[in-house]
Amino acid sequence: MSESINIGKNIRGIDSLDSDEWLWCLHCEKFFQGKELCSADESGERQSCPFCGTSGYGVDIYNWDDWCKDKNGNRKEHWPKEDSELNSGMRCQLGDMSPDNVSVIVFED
Ligand SMILES: [Zn+2]
């Protein structure tokens, strides 16, 4: 059974995530789940990547498939197709970090 993880205030105005939500870290390029987020301080807000310690949902940490499309809207070939393919710590490189690609992040709220 999943629970809600308190992530505190962040840039997207979302303050909690589902513990089973799959996330991806922009810095170490690894997948992990909401329940693996670490606290950066004693506030109880869990914002940090369990692998590299970078923090910030919507800044450095994203829902796993937010980065899966190229600038033409096509799913990146090397990106996992389903969350069932993901493992905690599995690394998937973003590849092209050009501004064109960054601009096509798809957020579904
Ligand atoms: Zn990381």
**Domain membership of residue 67 as a residue range:** 1-109
Number of domains in the chain: 1
Q: How far apart are the first and last CA of the chain?
A: 22
Q: Are 93 and 79 in contact (CB under 8 A)?
A: no
∠ CA 81-86-91 to the nearest 5 degrees?
A: 100
pLDDT per residue as tens digits for the range 81-103: 888 999 999 998 876 544 444 44
Q: Ligand 1 centre and the CA of 24: distance in Å?
A: 8
Q: Ligand 1 centre and the CA of 83: distance in Å?
A: 18
What percent of the chain has pLDDT above 70?
A: 81
pLDDT per residue as tens digits for the range 35-56: 999 986 777 778 899 999 988 8
Q: Ligand 1 centre and the CA of 60: distance in Å?
A: 8
**Region 53-64: what's the mean pLDDT?**
88
Higher pLDDT, 95 or 13: 13
Q: Ligand 1 centre and the CA of 40: distance in Å?
A: 13
Higher pLDDT, 42 or 17: 17
